[in-house]
Structure 1
Amino acid sequence: MSVTHVLAVVPVRDFDASVAWYESLFGFPPTNIPMPGILAEWRVTENGWVQMTVAAEHAGTALLNFAVDELEWHLAELEGRGLRAGDVQVASKDVRLASIRDRDGNTITFIGNFREKY
């Protein structure tokens, strides 16, 4: 198997309101809107994408994790855009986590000190 891109899917109830919320989360508008009113996409890394799609029956069930270089900086950026994550939690081996929930209850967690090998 040769995978060229990874796309995480976040189900929501309200397309327009959720696009606005995710624009605030990412700090930029969708990269693509292939299906207006149903599907918007943000390119968040070279080959990593987040797809936000209207799927009311699954809204609020997604867990989306982002490993970031400077956790406090990212949290401050979010606050500057009107979004506040929860308190930073320290996990094992100095990994640090802070989560925020979108309008539907999907959980987005920012991970500081992530490494590929522990």
Structure 2
Amino acid sequence: MTFSHVLAGAVVSDLDAAETWYTTLFGRGPDARPMPGLLEWHLASGSGLQVWRDADRSGVSQLVLGSDDLDAEASRLREAGIALDGPEPGGGARILRLRDADGNLVVVTGT
């Protein structure tokens, strides 16, 4: 079987707070609201992120994003108010470790 795309997921307790945080992360609002309690950002090459409200399961998601310019991304995110340390070494590249309001881990990789 050949898969054509992937949608990663992050589970949150407060969808409004998550929308604000992920809008800051991506520099734009969600591309779709497929149903109540669900936000969706469409990214390159048929990939994307779904953020949905489920307070009982929130805060344990992990998402890895790639960036062509990690230093510029780190500067943009800091200026936008997202707390971060780094970039730091990680897995043969460099990474930024971020946490949304629920504690979901977002790792941005790049050079």
TM-score (normalised: structure 2):
0.92
> Which amino acid in structure 1 is aligned with residue 72 of structure 2?
W
CA-atom RMSD, angstroms? 1.3
List, as ranges, runs of 4+ consecutive aligned residues in structure 1 with deviation greater than 6 Å: none
Between the two proteins, the alignment pairs up a number of residues equal to 111
- The structural deviation recorded for 1:7 is 0.3
Bigger proportion of residues as helix:
2
The unaligned stretches of length 5 or more in structure 1 are 114-118
> Which amino acid in structure 2 is aligned with residue 40 of structure 1?
L
The unaligned stretches of length 5 or more in structure 2 are none
Instruction: Indicate which of 91, 106, 109 corresponds to 1:108.
Output: 106
Aligned residues of 2:74 and 2:87 also touching (Cα < 8 A)? no
Higher Rg of the two aligned structures: 1
- Percent sequence identity is 32
TM-score (normalised: structure 1):
0.87
Aligned residues of 1:75 and 1:84 also touching (Cα < 8 A)? no
Bigger proportion of residues as strand:
2
SS at 2:22 equivalent: helix
- The structural deviation recorded for 1:79 is 1.5
Quote the Cα distance in structure 2 between the aligned partners of 1:112 and 1:52. Answer: 23
